[in-house]
Amino acid sequence: MSQTLTYKILQQHLVEGKLQPGEPIGIRIDQTLTQDATGTTVFLLFESMGLARVRTELSVSYVDHNMAQFGPENHNDHLYLQSIARKVGVYHSRPGNGICHQVHLERFGRPGATLLGSDSHTPTCGGLGMLAIGAGGLDVASAMGGGAFYLTCPKVIGVHLTGRLHDWVSSKDIILTLLSILSTKGNVDCVIEYFGPGVQTLTVPQRATVTNMGAELGVTTSIFPSDEMTEQFLAAQNRPQHYRPLAADPDAHYDRIIEINLSKLVPMAACPSSPDNVVPVEEIAGRKIHQVVIGSCTNSSYTDLTIAAEILKGRKIDPSVEFGIAPGSRQVLQMITRSGALADLLAAGARLLESACGPCIGQGFSPGDGTVTLRTFNRNFAGRTGTKGDQCYLVSPETAAASAIMGEITDPRSLKEMIGLRYPAVKPPKEYVIDDSMIDPPLPPEEAANAVVIRGPTIVVPESPRPLPETLTGQVLLKCGDKITTDHIMPAGAFLKYRSNVPEYSKYVFNSFNEEGKPTFAQRCLALKKQGLSGIVVAGESYGQGSSREHAALCPMYLGLRAVLAKSIERIHRANLINFAIVPIEFAAPADYDRIQSDDMLEIPDLTGAIRSANEVEIFNRTQGFSFQGRLVLSHRDREILLAAGLLNYAKKKAMPS
C-alpha cells in the first residue's frame, strides 16, 4: 500500500500498536536530544531509573538556554550535565557551541531516523527528513533508557508546495502563512508533511525554519522529504554517509491537503502576542520600532545571518533601534567571521549576542516599556521577552534587517525603491566549517564506571508524585481562558535558573496571574495540600501550548495540584500531566466551563475507579450544588501510569518481578 513519508518512518520504528490514526502506538527512538533547562531534570530522572548507560544509537546533551550565569545555578547545571553525560554515554555540547536544534541539524540528524527531544522545537530536524518529536523530559529519559515512545498515531496533513519564493520572501513566510491558515489550536495529533515541486527549491536550513516553527501549530511534528538538497547539505557538513533519499509514495493518501504556491507568498509578520496572529508586513509597515533581534533556533543559520549582513553592508541601523544578532551555532559564528559578514553586521551597529537562546527565552535584551520589538524567533507569547505588556512581532531576517535600517516595520520588497537595494541572493556554502571540539564524547564504559558526577547544591532531586486519592476534593484556584501556554504556567526568563530546584521554582507557578499583595497561586495550593485537599485549574481551549517544559506539570504536582479541567489540552503538556499523576479532564459539554467560578469546591467521587475503566467522570460542584460530566481521554497505558502515581513509579512497578 502506498504510504506517506511519516508512515514509512513510523512503520520502520513501530514496536507497539496499529498504524491507524487515533490509535495509541509505541515507536523505537534512535536519537535523543536534551537541553540544559529541561536536561538537568531528564538526567536526574534517568539516574533514578537506575540505568548505567543510554541505550540509543546517539544521545546528545546541549547547553544553550541557561547561560546568563547570574549566581551559581547555571554553572552548577553545566558541570552536572557535563559530568553525567560522560558517565552515561551521552555526547555533551558545551555552552557556546550553539542552540541544540541548529547544532543537531548540522552535526547529528539523519534522514529516516527518529529523534526525541526534551524541547518543543525538536521538529527542526524534520528539515532533514527525520521524524523528530518534542516531548516531556521523563519521556525522553525513558527513551534514553531504550524505552519506546508512546504517542497517538497521527493524521497526516500534506502541504503541497508549488512555485518558488520571490526575492525578499523567505521560508519564514511559508510557516507564518501556514499559521495563518491552521492557527495554533486544533491540530493536536497531526503531522505536517511537505511535498510537491516547490520542495526542491528550498535548502535544508530553509526547510528547518519551517519545521521548527511548525511546533507553534501544536502538531506532533513536521517533515520534508530527503532529496538532492539534503544530500548537498550533508555533504557540505562532511557527513555524506548519512544521506538516504526518502519521500512519500506518489499516490500517498493525506488526511487533508493544503496548497501553498510559493510564488504567491509575501513577507508576513506575527503580531503580538501569538504566533498565529499573522498579517502581511505591508499592512503594518511604518510602525515605529525600538529593537530588532536576529537569532533563535528558527532563523539563525549561516544564510539567515549572511542575508542580513548583505542588506546592512555599508549602511547603518536607525539610531532609535537596538539591534542584536545571535548566530545559531559556533559553526555559523565561525563562518560569518571568516566570510566578513560579521564585520558588516558589526559595522552597521549590531550587538553580538552569544550563540544561544538568549532573548528568545527572556534571558536578556528585554524591550523597554511600551516599545516594539521585532524578532526572527518563533514565539511571541505575552511577556516572554521578559517585559510585561511587551509588543513582540515575529518576522523573517529580511524583514528584520530592512526594518533595522529604517527604524520602522518595513516590507523588505520596498528597499529597492527606498534605498536602491537589489535582492542580495545568498547561496548555501559548499563546505561548512567543521569543528566539533566543543562536543565532548562520552567516556568508554570501562572508564565511565568510576567517573564522578558533579552535583552543586542548587541541583535538587525532584519529588515523586503520591498516589491519587479515590475521591478527589479540590478548589478551583484558577479559572483561565483559551491558549494558556506553558510560559503562563511556568515562566522562564528570570526564573529559568531555578529549573534544577523544583521547590524553589514552584513558587512561581502561574506567576503572571498573581496579584500584588494577595497570596500567590503557589501559597494557596500549598495551603490546600496541607489540609489534604487538591488545587484544580480550569481552562479553555488548547491548554498547555508551546514549550515542552515538564516543570509545568512537575511544579504544580509538587504544590499539590491533582487535576486540570479544560476544554482541550495540547499533546506534550497532556503527556507531562499524566507522567506526573495530574489527571487531565476535558469538559464533556464545553458550556459547563462557563458555570464554574474561581474558588468553587469540586468533588470527583471515585476518581480512581473512573480512571481504571470509564471514559467519563462525574464532577460535583459543592459550592454551587450541581453535577457535570468530564471526559477522560486516556489510553490504557495512560490509565496505568495515573494509577501507579506517575511514569517513574509505573516503570519501577513494571520492572519489578511479580
Q: Which residues bind ligand MIC (CB under 6 A)?
A: 37-38, 65, 119-121, 361, 492, 546-549
Phi-psi region for residue 385, left (φ > 0), alpha (ψ -120 to 50) or beta?
A: alpha
Residues 6+ apart with CB under 8 A from 454: 79, 80, 82, 83
What's the min distance (Å) between Cβ of 379 and ligand SF4?
6
Place of cell 551559581: 72
Phi-psi region of 146 (alpha: psi -120 to 50; beta: other; left: phi over 0): left
From ligand MIC, ligand SF4, none, which one binds at residue 296 (CB under 5 to 8 Å depending on kind)? Answer: ligand SF4
Question: Closest CB to ligand MIC among 74 and 120?
Answer: 120
User: Which is nearer to ligand SF4, 237 or 378 (by Cβ)?
Assistant: 378
Tell me the CA end-to-end span of the chain in Å, nearest whole number. 42
Instruction: For the CB of residue 64, give the shortest distance to ligand MIC in the complex, in Å.
Output: 9
- Catalytic site includes residue 488: no
Phi, psi of 555 (to 5 degrees): -70, -45
Residues near ligand SF4 (CB under 6 A) are 65, 99, 119, 121, 296-297, 357, 360-361, 378
Region of 536 on the Ramachandran plot (φ > 0 left; ψ -120 to 50 alpha; else beta): beta
Instruction: Choose the contact partner of 485 out of ligand SF4, ligand MIC, none; CB within 5 to 8 A by kind.
Output: none
304 or 411: CB nearest ligand MIC = 304
Give the span between the Cα atoms of 236 and 203, in whole angstroms: 12
Shortest spacing between CB 36 and ligand MIC, in angstroms? 8
- In the complex with ligand SF4, which residue's Cβ is closer, 178 or 262? 178
DSSP-based three-state secondary structure for 415: helix
Q: 72 — phi, psi (to 5°)? A: -80, -10
- How far apart (Å, rounded) are the C-alpha atoms in residues 111 and 226? 6
Active-site position among 30, 36, 64, 318 = 64
* 81 versus 165: smaller Cβ distance to ligand MIC: 81
User: What is the CA angle 117-646-134, rounded to 5?
Assistant: 15
Least separation in angstroms between residue 122's CB and ligand MIC is 8
Cell, residue 576: 507531562
Nearer to ligand SF4, 56 or 300 (CB): 300
Contact 329, 124 (CB under 8 A): no
Q: Are strands 58-62 and 91-93 parallel, antiparallel or unpaired?
A: parallel
Largest CA distance in the chain: 77
36 binds, among ligand SF4, ligand MIC, none (CB under 5 to 8 A by kind): none
Q: Of 30, 36, 77, 119, which residue is the catalytic one?
A: 119
Which CB atom, from 99 or from 509, has the smaller least distance to ligand SF4?
Answer: 99
Query: With helix as H, strand as E and coil as C, how does 442-461 read?
Result: CCCHHHHCCCCCCCCCCCCC
Which does residue 99 bind out of ligand SF4, ligand MIC, none, counting CB within 5 to 8 angstroms by kind? ligand SF4
Find, among 570, 572, 552, the residue nearest to 561 by Cα.
552
With CB under 5 to 8 Å by kind, the binding choice for 155 among ligand MIC, ligand SF4, none is none
Catalytic residue among 92, 101, 549, 562: 549
Residues 6 or more apart whose CB falls under 8 angstroms from that of 128 comprise 105, 109, 110, 111, 204, 207, 208, 224, 226, 230, 233, 234
Q: Which of 116, 143, 144 lies closest to 130 in space, CA to CA? A: 116
Selected catalytic residue, list 274, 301, 547, 548: 547
Q: Which of ligand SF4, ligand MIC, none interacts with 103 (beta carbon under 5 to 8 A by kind)?
A: none
Cα distances from 95 to residues 133, 440, 499, in angstroms, run: 23, 11, 17
Minimum CB separation of residue 29 from ligand MIC in Å reads 17
Based on the residue annotation, tell me whether 53 is a catalytic residue of this protein: no
Residue 119 among the catalytic residues: yes
72 DSSP 8-state letter: S
Q: Of 197, 58, 201, 195, whose CA–CA distance to 129 is shortest?
A: 195
Residue 273, preceding bond cis, omega within 30 degrees? yes
Q: How far is the CB of 477 from ligand MIC (least distance, A)?
A: 22
Of these partners, ligand MIC, ligand SF4, none, which one is at the site of residue 549 (CB under 5 to 8 Å by kind)? ligand MIC
Residue among 242, 379, 488, 524 flagged as catalytic: 379
Least distance to ligand MIC from the beta carbon of 643, Å? 28
Binds 10, which of ligand SF4, ligand MIC, none (CB < 5 to 8 A, cut-off by type)? none
Q: Which is nearer to ligand SF4, 81 or 561 (CB)?
A: 81
Q: Tell me the closest approach of the beta carbon of residue 635 to ligand MIC, in angstroms.
A: 23
Considering only CA atoms, give the Rg of the chain.
24
Task: Count CB atoms within 10 A of the CB of residue 597.
Answer: 12
Residue 379 a catalytic site member: yes
Beta carbon of residue 109, minimum distance to ligand SF4 (angstroms, whole number): 15
Task: Give which of ligand MIC, ligand SF4, none residue 38 binds (C-beta under 5 to 8 Å, depending on kind).
Answer: ligand MIC
Tell me the C-alpha distance between 305 and 482, whole Å.
36
Q: Which is nearer to ligand SF4, 217 or 563 (CB)?
A: 217
Q: Which residues are marked as active site? A: 64-65, 119, 379, 547, 549
